[in-house]
Amino acid sequence: MELAQDPWLTGLALFLESQRFRARDDASDSKLAGVYAHNSLEFSATEANEWVSWMRYVSALVRGGPGAWRVRNQTGGTLDAGTPVYPSGFLQVDEQGDGAAQLSTWVLYGVERYDRLYWTLTDTGGDRTVSLYADPELTELVAEGTRTGDGSITLVDVDGSEVTGTVTVAYTADDEDAANILELNRVLVSKADAADPAKPPLLVVAEDLATAANGTAFPHATVGGLDTSGAAAIGSPVYLSATAGAFAFSAPAAGIPWQIGVVAAKHATTGAIRFFPGQRIALGLMFTAEIALTSAQVKALRATPVSVVPAPGAGRVIEFVSATLLLDYGSNVFTEAGYNLGFRYNDGTGVQVSETVETTGFIDQSVDTQTSARAKLDAIAPKSGSENKALVLHNTGGAEIAGNAANDSVLRVKVTYRVWSTGW
């Protein structure tokens, strides 16, 4: 395994963006004896030693918000689904096969589109040839190089693949084994830790990843099959734990209080968390919260509003976006007399942030029925009534909803919302 370190990276166009910068810069610079004469007044990646460290590459990925990162687990143990991780290194080329160690010191350009390549080594009359293929059947040749005797081989792109580079050969025998693979462009990951500022959460592993295995990790992902029974409710914040690689439902007593997600489903074995590591509080991202109200809760909503989204923390407010309400009908109907519903801050006296939800024709139906709610225009609220306040569902009428004597109907509520920093 060749691990990228800062001195090795300096001046090498290893990564996607630096390759683009180098191509653009080379096109405008003069070339003498095969070497480009770069103009230091040009502010390009080349003149800035391109990507001096792999963390510049990581920073670019964070800013770009890719859907998935190609990663390798370097913790020495299995990373379970739901493990928050941080980038701890970069692997440009990992050569597999080559039991005789005939090839070494791979440096490749133009490989950002590939997860892996397949290589062969052959000799004809003392001329050593290294070939790179895009497929395991060895039919799609992308680069090749030949030299007489051992030493550094220059790889040239084939059919416009743009894959180039060098590799050092110490030949002993032809090797065309199907297991000869180059794993490419992997960010090495280790467990994030709230107790160590050098190990911040930037990604989450969505599926179990064995030690030294390649896989994917995500800046945003909903992961199921977790124990979330310790959370207060759906929508409750999830924090990075001071135990490396773990999450918790309260901020750690010591260390950095990284909020890395919210609870999407509460259960001991089938719970789910919507992770957004690296975003800290994920300001402005759209979230959903779901809750199922029992018949008894529906019939007590006027006196006891039900919290749908918990308070987001000091300096933050919840923006109600929309909601879907679904009546899961039981044996007999609810009854009401103009007792409508609404979403409010904090409690039954808080500012209403949704338009009023008409219950006639909805809650009183004898079949499964759905309706929706939208945000209220000009839901003006003072800081004292909106900052760090939960979002609740309230019966805005003059009396409680009644009926459903069997107490077997359920009201399912699904809310879409955002969290914002106030700056207050």
What pLDDT is attached to residue 423?
82
What pLDDT is attached to residue 268?
94
What pLDDT is attached to residue 59?
58
Which whole number is the average pLDDT over 298-322? 91
What pLDDT is attached to residue 264?
83
Round the average pLDDT of the chain to a whole number and report it: 83
Instruction: Identify the band that residue 42 occupies on the pLDDT scale cut at 50, 70 and 90.
Output: very low
Q: What is the C-alpha to C-alpha distance for residues 390 and 307, in angstroms, rounded to an integer?
A: 7
Residue range 65-101, pLDDT digits in tens: 556 788 889 888 999 999 999 988 877 788 888 889 9
In a domain? residue 245 = no
What pLDDT is attached to residue 284?
59
Residue with the bigger pLDDT between 237 and 4: it is: 237
Residue range 143-195, pLDDT digits in tens: 999 999 999 999 999 999 889 999 999 999 999 988 899 988 788 899 999 99
- Supply the CATH number for residue 363's domain: 2.60.120
Residue 32 has pLDDT above 90, yes or no: no
Residue where a domain terminates, one of 125, 160, 179 = 179
Please report where in the chains the tokens 């039919």 appear, as a residue.
Answer: 139
115: left (phi over 0), alpha (psi -120 to 50) or beta: alpha
Highest average pLDDT, of 45-54, 227-236, 279-288, comes from 227-236
Instruction: Identify the band that residue 43 occupies on the pLDDT scale cut at 50, 70 and 90.
Output: very low
Taking alpha carbons only, the member of 143, 149, 136, 150 closest to residue 165 is 143
Q: What percent of the chain lies above the pLDDT cut of 90?
A: 54
Taking alpha carbons only, the member of 298, 197, 287 closest to residue 240 is 197
CB neighbours of residue 6 within 10 Å? 12
Taking alpha carbons only, the member of 5, 76, 62 closest to residue 203 is 62
Residue 20 has pLDDT above 50, yes or no: no
Residue 406 has pLDDT above 80, yes or no: yes
In a domain? residue 210 = no
In a domain? residue 161 = yes
Residue where a domain terminates, one of 179, 202, 233 = 179
Token pair, residue 393, equals: 């569902």
What pLDDT is attached to residue 5?
35
In a domain? residue 191 = no
Least confident of 2-6, 53-57, 185-189, 196-200: 2-6
How many structural domains compose the chain?
2
In a domain? residue 261 = no
CB neighbours of residue 353 within 10 Å? 24
In a domain? residue 15 = no
Q: List the domain range (segments joined by +) for residue 349.
A: 283-424
* DSSP per-residue string spanning 165-193: EEEEE--SS-B--TT-EEEEEEEEEEE--
Taking alpha carbons only, the member of 195, 119, 199 closest to residue 153 is 119
In this structure, are 159 and 287 located in the same domain? no
What pLDDT is attached to residue 258?
85
Q: Which residues, 6 or more positions from 156, have their beta carbon under 8 angstroms from its beta carbon?
A: 143, 144, 145, 164
Residue 138 has pLDDT above 80, yes or no: yes
Token pair, residue 4, equals: 């990228």
Q: What is the C-alpha to C-alpha distance for residues 364 and 411, in angstroms, rounded to an integer?
A: 12
What pLDDT is attached to residue 15?
39
Burial 374-398 (b: 16+ CB within 10 A, else e): ebbeebebeeeebbbbbbbbbbbbe
In a domain? residue 313 = yes
What pLDDT is attached to residue 253?
83
Q: What is the C-alpha to C-alpha distance for residues 416 and 374, in angstroms, rounded to an integer?
A: 10
Residue 9 has pLDDT above 50, yes or no: no
In this structure, are 419 and 306 located in the same domain? yes
Taking alpha carbons only, the member of 354, 337, 358 closest to residue 345 is 354
Residue where a domain terminates, one of 119, 153, 179 = 179
For residue 71, give the amino acid letter.
V
In a domain? residue 88 = no
Burial 202-237 (b: 16+ CB within 10 A, else e): bbbbbeebeeeebbebbbbbbbbebebeebeebbbb
Give the C-alpha distances (Å, rounded to integers) separating 205 from 69, 106, 201, 422. Answer: 10, 29, 11, 31
Q: What percent of the chain lies above the pLDDT cut of 70?
A: 82
Burial 173-182 (b: 16+ CB within 10 A, else e): eebeeeebbb
Contact 263, 249 (CB under 8 A): yes
For residue 89, give the amino acid letter.
G
Residue 48 has pLDDT above 90, yes or no: no
Which whole number is the average pLDDT over 281-304? 83
In this structure, are 173 and 288 located in the same domain? no
Q: What is the C-alpha to C-alpha distance for residues 252 and 256, in angstroms, rounded to an integer?
A: 7
Residue 23 has pLDDT above 60, yes or no: no
Residue 52 has pLDDT above 90, yes or no: no
Highest average pLDDT, of 18-32, 97-111, 281-295, comes from 97-111
Contact 201, 280 (CB under 8 A): no
